Copies of this chain bind each other. A is one copy, B any other.
Amino acid sequence: MKFTQQLEQKVRLVNKVIEQILTQTGWIERELAEPVRYALAGPGKRVRGSLVLWACEIISDKANSDARTAAAAIEMVHTYSLIHDDLPSMDNDDYRRGRLTCHKKFDEATAILTGDSLLTLAFELLAKQISKPAVAVRLIAELAEAAGPAGMTAGQMADLRAENKKTNQKSLNRIHVNKTAKMFRCAAAMGAISGGANEKQLKRLREYGLKIGLGFQIADDILDVRSTSEELGKTSGKDAKQGKATYPAIVGMEKSLRHAEKLANEAVAALEPFGSKAETLCQLATELLNRSR
């Protein structure tokens, strides 16, 4: 099966779980039904969720029910982070995924509460739908550590503080790792844990996730320079305008491209022990660099 077909299949699986949560009663009171649906059912790339499923398949041949739940949970957390990131006091963006951002479609208060809801819902989902408590607790710990003040929110904070300031590559790396790469590492780890990976397998997949996550963010920096808003589904050229610390701004375009490629190669190398089972994840490492949005 071609990579794009494989990805489409995974996106459908993730969306199915999300759609179940949106339609089952008990999860979401009526005031939040519309904005939560708008945010969650939007045309996301679902890269993190797909990564959870693929990582599980490497370990247990099939993306099991726990992996599907974990995939939906990480997509909820990712979606919340975009909603809050787009707020006027943060990155201030009007478009996301080719549509109005949540605070533009509704209002700021609704966007804040919709983000808060999705973040909380992700943990509720993991606590209620994972087969074994011991697995649930590990998945929750992974996700909270990656998304919280030891990871993503710290990266977002640092990213805002670095605007219009001199930043070196080391500091920028730390921002990108916290803001983006730890969530990719988490996705790979959640898939591995769902599949019942041993410590060695988990370590390999975590390394892979961190590398492609950093590569993904560098590619994002590059895309912001090179693409049009239509291609991205969000405002392009914003990084430079906002004085963001980005790879192309600090080390130049050529070196950024080379570094992203190096990371993809290292990610692929980390999966060597899995042999041909890792084929799709190896392709993903390359695809993330060559994407157009």
Give residues in A with beta carbon < 8 Å to B: 26-32, 36, 80, 84, 87, 89-90, 107-110, 112-113, 115-117, 119-121, 123-124, 126-128, 130, 132-134, 136-138, 140-141, 144-145, 147-151, 153-158, 160-161, 178
| Bound-state Cα–Cα, A121 to B144, Å | 7
Bound-complex Cα distance A199 to B88 (A):
47
- Please name all residues of chain B whose beta carbon is closer than 8 Å to the beta carbon of A151 when the two chains form the complex: 29
Q: Give complex CA distance A111, B39 in Å.
A: 22
Copies in the complex: 2
Residues A117 and B28 in contact in the complex (CB < 8 Å), given A90-B109, A127-B141: no
Q: Are A148 and B121 CB-contacts (below 8 A) given A109-B89, A153-B116?
A: yes
Instruction: Give the interface centre of A110, A130, A149, A161 by most chain B CB atoms within 10 Å.
Output: A149
Contact A113:B153 (CB < 8 A) given known A108-B89, A120-B148, A141-B127: yes
CA distance A136 to B119 in the complex (A): 18
State whether A120 touches B137 (Cβ < 8 A): no
Are A133 and B144 neighbours in the complex by a CB distance under 8 Å? no
The chain B residue sitting closest to A144, CB to CB, is B124
Chain B residues, CB < 8 A from A134: 133
Q: Are B32 and A113 in contact (CB under 8 A)?
A: no
Contact in complex: B149, A29 (CB < 8 Å): yes
Bound complex: CA A140 to CA B137 (Å): 9
Out of B26, B112, B160, name the residue touching A150 (CB < 8 Å): B26
> Chain B residues near A36 (CB, 8 Å)?
149
